[in-house]
Amino acid sequence: MASSSPTLLKEQQAFWSQHVHDTQMIFEINSNPHVSWKATRYPMFENMSLYEFKHRMLGAEVDESVLLKSNDDSQKLHVESGMSEMDKRAILRLPQEFDSRKQWPSCVHPIRDQQQCGSCWAFSASEVLSDRYCIATNGSVNVVLSPEFLVECSAQNNGCNGGKLDATWLFLVKIGIPTDQCVPYTSGNGVVGACPKTGCTSNPNEKLVLYKASHARRIVGAENIMIDIAAKGPVQAAMAVYRDFMSYKSGVYHHVSGGLVGGHAIKIVGWGVDSESRKPYWICANSWGPSWGIDGFFWILRGVEECGIGRDVWTGYV
């Protein structure tokens, strides 16, 4: 196999050594009337290189082929294909705007922070299952589930070095996860602890109680995604992150400039249409803390699979 040319290697090194924030890029985004979002600088990203950002703040291993092989382990994972007559009728009833936070205000849990660990896959999946347990039980099971347990215990994933959505949901169906109180998040510094076997890490004398998904599936098509959110709650989605996304402040994000940095996993909680630009968008929860974006959330252009969002969407059922 031919090795990369010295010129290409230098270009790659130059790209990854750049700082997250580009002052000129931010200025051009904010001064362009055709851009439907605003950018800013974030203190938490200052002096962080793109290489550091990719490995600390992202973490989704985005794969073109997300379908598991047909075997005993994957029998409870399904792909939503085609559309039933019931689904077609549901599409006709879909509202122009929907927000899970308003529909189930006590069940959609607060924004969290993955810190310096590529664990977005674990946060978004555990948050979706947490929200859906609360929604499915009308609030009687209102718990925050543990992303740390996924980071430490999901052998098919790679801890702070990333994970796959399908493998994560397979784990949630087969094994399940405890509450965040039982196994709190400690991998924010990039150091992953040992998987607890029987007791909580917060109290080894307290037995692990695992919350499972009854089954999980990949959802194909924007309409099917909307139907599922409106009926059952938030879903998990993978997306491609470009350099400009890190500077997102508000508005309907669409990629404007900057190279591809990596894959990311987030939670879609709803959708809407921007009153100013009239652009349709998904409402998404990030895992970079509440000081980023719109109190930790962001809007991204809907209907065109912007940054690949909508191509790799998974959720679980209680």
pLDDT in tens, the chain (318 residues): 445 566 657 667 888 888 888 899 999 999 999 999 999 999 999 889 999 999 889 988 875 532 233 334 444 455 444 455 565 566 668 999 999 999 999 999 999 999 999 999 999 999 999 999 999 999 999 999 999 999 999 999 999 999 999 999 999 999 999 999 999 999 999 999 999 999 999 999 999 999 999 999 999 999 999 999 999 999 999 999 999 999 999 999 999 999 999 999 999 999 999 999 999 999 999 999 999 999 999 999 999 999 999 999 999 999
Catalytic residue status for 120: yes
Q: What's the CATH class of domain 11-317?
A: alpha beta
Which of 107, 117, 120, 284 is the catalytic position? 120
Residues 6+ apart with CB under 8 A from 26: 39, 40, 41, 247
Catalytic residue status for 307: no
The whole-model pTM stands at 0.89
Which of 182, 264, 284, 307 is the catalytic position? 264
Which of 134, 200, 286, 307 is the catalytic position? 286
